[in-house]
Amino acid sequence: MLGIDPVKTDYYDLKEKIESLFIKHPPIFDEKVSELLKEAYAKQIKIVITTNTGFMSGELLRKIIQKKFVFASKAKQTAGFDVIASNDIGAAKPNPLIFSAAMQAIGNIRREDVLHIGDNHLTDIKGAADFGMKSLHVDKFKTLTSITGLQ
């Protein structure tokens, strides 16, 4: 598969091949989400992207996001927002550690004042709600399906 012999390929070779595939075929960003991020950036609204990265490193994901959103960046902050990748912190959603890392990136704000938007009911919506954040579920058909914690 992919021209890779798993017995003869070491971890770093495999990682390099996988990452080159992600660069060649990056994730597809929904244009509505892209516009929302640009608008939020223009209004100086703090955004933190939390992602369960799987095979893709947080560093590579930041590079891909930077190519897509070329407006402003610094260190782990990309295009005016932070990216918290599960493999960078050793915890994936719905683990509270990833939501805690997002809170640290946001700064001085109460968790109940944070809105977490996600497409996975268990990892995004329940995870954020259990952590004390408000949450907004958007399914793969891009329809609003539930909101927690909003009055």
The domain segmentation of the chain, as residue ranges, is 28-148
Q: In the predicted model, what is the mean pLDDT of the chain?
A: 80
* Higher pLDDT among residues 22 and 70, named by residue: 22
pLDDT, residue 16, reads 85
Give the pair of three-digit tokens for residue 86: 């599960």
pLDDT, residue 75, reads 45
pLDDT band at 139 (very low <50, low <70, confident <90, very high): confident
φ, ψ (nearest 5 deg) of residue 138: -120, 120
Lowest mean pLDDT among 55-69, 79-93, 137-151: 137-151
C-alpha 117/C-alpha 140 separation (Å) is: 13
pLDDT band at 119 (very low <50, low <70, confident <90, very high): confident
Is the separation of the CB atoms in 119 and 147 below 8 Å?
no
* Fold classification of 28-148 (topology level): Rossmann fold (3.40.50)
Confidence check: pLDDT of 90 > 80: yes
Place of tokens 């060649």: 24
pLDDT, residue 63, reads 81
C-alpha 150/C-alpha 8 separation (Å) is: 53
Q: Rounded mean pLDDT of 55-82?
A: 68
The number of residues in the chain equals: 151
pLDDT, residue 131, reads 97
Confidence check: pLDDT of 1 > 60: no
Place of tokens 């944070």: 114
Cis preceding-peptide flag for 96 (omega within 30 of 0): no
C-alpha 150/C-alpha 94 separation (Å) is: 20
pLDDT, residue 146, reads 57
Confidence check: pLDDT of 144 > 90: no
